Amino acid sequence: MIRNQWYVVLESKEVRQKLVGVKRLNENLLFWRDETGKVICFVDHCPHRGVALSAGKVLDNHHVQCPFHGLEFDNEGRCTVIPANGFSADVPSNFYIKRYLTHEQDGFIWIFWGDEAKSVEKPLFFSSLSSLAYRTRQDVWKAHYSRVIENQLDCAHVPFIHRKTIGRGGNTLVDGPLVTWKGDRQMMMYVFNKKDDGTVPLKPEQLHEKDEDEQRIEFIFPNLWQNFIQAKMRVVVAFVPVDGETTIMYLRFYQGFLMIPILESFLFALFMPYNLKIAHEDRRVVETQQPKVSALMMKENLFQADLPIVEFRKKRDELLRNSKNYFA
Ligand code: FES
Ligand SMILES: [Fe+2]
């Protein structure tokens, strides 16, 4: 996992006033909201004797209290009182909890997983989604998040894995695909699969970007993906790393066609199970991939259609090298 990145880790509605302990990015983390409603994220580990603070409680919407010996911490993670030393005693400066910066937007919660001083910009998100309605489902995959992401950048698998759903029609020949970059963190992928007509696949440089309102796939590093089906219909996925072998997919279906609640519910009732069914067609094979973690230099034999995966691996490798963390 790449340090010093903004990761989507939860949905807003999962964090209310109470303490929420979850495993993310291979760490036990604690989430809560202070009196202003701001989401606070701490490492879920009391600096006294290692108890999970998530078993404690929030005091006055402003402090977290450890359940074991009652130490209290403010929203910056500083210990404000050690009851056994007396309420008037000073607290030594080594009594603090590691905190991660948070950002909340469009119903998602991000943390800056790394060194606060290195967070210069706010996280990116996909544009013009705020006028659309959405529903989210969580889906647990027993796979490293790099493999789960790569599956969503893989256009050669569609007519095989999704033979009976989105891959009907046998479009096995992959022209390109074409990959372009929007800034440093956002990858756009244009797919041109077709029936095998006996020709050789076109090279990416023989293809052109589609119009702005046509279908494309977008990926924002490190863990956000969008299938832009059309302006009013999108699928957005946050690939949330739990540990090295577990990823939770936060799968969202957005639509802007039916905004009357009862019709909206009808549409979601139709599409959410369908999207999950497609995801499970993928999950069955991705969970078998070895090695568990993908890498730029690894023993795989790739072909032209794998270009988006190569682009993903190159950028991931660069970010890993920059963050000096090779244990990803
Ligand atoms: S372990 Fe938390 S107060 Fe002692
Ligand atoms: Fe798939």
pLDDT tens for 202-218 read: 999 999 988 888 999 99
Which residues neighbour ligand 2 (ion) by CB within 5 Å? 282
CA 15/CA 37 separation, integer angstroms: 10
Q: Do residues 87 and 30 both lie within one domain?
A: yes
Q: Please provide the size of the chain in residues.
A: 328
Tokens representing 159 are: 């007519």
Pocket (CB within 6 angstroms of ligand 1): 46, 48-49, 51, 66, 68-69, 71
Average pLDDT, the chain: 94
Q: Is the pLDDT of residue 324 over 90?
A: no
Q: Is the pLDDT of residue 328 over 70?
A: no
Q: How far is the CA of 49 from the centre of ligand 1 (A)?
A: 5
- The helix or strand, by DSSP H or E, that contains position 116, with its residue range, turns out to be none
Tell if the pTM clears 0.85, that is, is over it.
Answer: yes
pLDDT of residue 325: 56
Mean pLDDT of 175-183: 95
Probe target for ligand 1 pocket from 19, 42, 49, 53, with the most ligand atoms within 8 Å of CB: 49
For residues 92 and 98, the answer to whether their CB atoms sit within 8 Å is no
Mean pLDDT of 262-279: 91
Q: How far is the CA of 104 from the centre of ligand 1 (A)?
A: 30
Q: Do residues 307 and 268 both lie within one domain?
A: yes
For residues 191 and 215, the answer to whether their CB atoms sit within 8 Å is yes
Domain range for 95 = 5-115
Which ligand 1 atom is at minimum distance from the Cα of 69?
3
Probe target for ligand 1 pocket from 63, 69, 73, with the most ligand atoms within 8 Å of CB: 69
Pick the range with the lowest mean pLDDT from 134-143, 232-241, 264-273, 294-303: 264-273
pLDDT of residue 261: 83
Q: Is residue 310 a part of any domain in this protein? A: yes
Q: Is residue 328 a part of any domain in this protein? A: no
Domain boundary among the residues 115, 142, 175 is at 115
Number of domains in the chain: 2
Which ligand 1 atom is at minimum distance from the Cα of 66?
2
